[in-house]
Structure 1
């Protein structure tokens, strides 16, 4: 799949190309390129927007360009008969080029960032409490570490499942 810089991608979009953001909906809601449609990576193969666009140029992007590069073959397969491109550097490069983005500061932080903040806070709290109160609090840090390890090995993150039900994430449950 061909890679284009953000300015070349903008030119393709202005000529009628379909811009597809392959990030998750929570990432897209917080910050996005104007006019981009959100088709998370796991739904790209069955997305009607791609199946109904024979011959139309498609430009894919993610945040940094890593997800699109790593999944270029799947993205190309999901857009048969269409010229398909990947934005080099993704949304980050788009912003560095001074191109417009839509930001919604009221949207909740991306779920993965919430997990990182919560896990880091709990691990730190366990270490501080173990140092100041009782070594038994090291179990809290160990529990969080074990949960992260299980999430990495299995793809199941109990903390993410819990956080998605918090009141500030109402829009994510949508």
Structure 2
């Protein structure tokens, strides 16, 4: 018999979270976006633990997440994946910021801004759209090249159905998106020192 992860609490809206922050009752905020996305814009007081790092070091992180945790990403999809990973490892009090940083900003809540960079979704649209456009045009002269665009379309369809994106994973490994990777020991030290 396989164990099922404990049920998680519903997502948390940006206005509700902003209210908790203003009242001094802010939960731990783990931002699971890439370091580049985090440096561009993030919620003050949040910790950057990219999704891959979180999955790899969730056991180490669990020991320091003994209170309510809200997972944050751009729109909520990666945060939901992080929620599954942490809930499966036994962290009971997890929530996802509904609509992510986009909703937080739309609610007029404060953010810390750095150097402007394109978010992952926009990068995927650029690469996929460019590849389909180029292979479609070249396919007029070279038979069969259009099939590359068809394969990309199939990949995007699979990404939508599975709520995962191989192209996004590959793009997240580019130097543009990586930047200095958050050191798990530093994040744990910050989690320990923050009341």
Same fold flag (TM > 0.5): yes
Aligned equivalents of 1:137 and 1:32: distance in 2? 46
| Structural mapping, 1:139-154, within 5 Å | 139-146=144-151, 149=154
Give the one of 121, 134, 144 matched to 1:125.
134
| Structural mapping, 1:33-44, within 5 Å | 33-44=43-54
Query: What is the CA distance between 1:99 and its match in structure 2?
Result: 0.4
Query: What is the CA distance between 1:140 and its match in structure 2?
Result: 4.2
Q: Alignment partner of 1:4: what SS?
A: coil
CA contact (8 A) 2:138 2:146 kept: no
Counterpart in the other structure of 1:52:
64
Q: RMSD across aligned C-alpha pairs, in angstroms? A: 3.7
What is the total number of aligned residue pairs between the two structures?
Answer: 162
Unaligned runs of 5+ in 1: none
Higher relative contact order (CA 8 A, sep 6+): 2
CA contact (8 A) 2:41 2:112 kept: yes
Give the one of 13, 21, 29 matched to 1:5.
13
CA contact (8 A) 1:58 1:85 kept: yes
Can you list the C-alpha shifts for 1:86-131, whole angstroms capped at 9, x where unaligned? 2222222211211012233444x2355334313312322343455x
Give the one of 14, 23, 27 matched to 1:17.
27
Can you list the C-alpha shifts for 1:8-61, whole angstroms capped at 9, x where unaligned? 32344432521111223333232221221122233334244442232x221212
CA contact (8 A) 2:32 2:82 kept: no
Q: Say which one has the larger Rg.
A: 1
Q: TM-score, normalised by structure 2?
A: 0.61
Unaligned runs of 5+ in 2: 1-7, 181-195
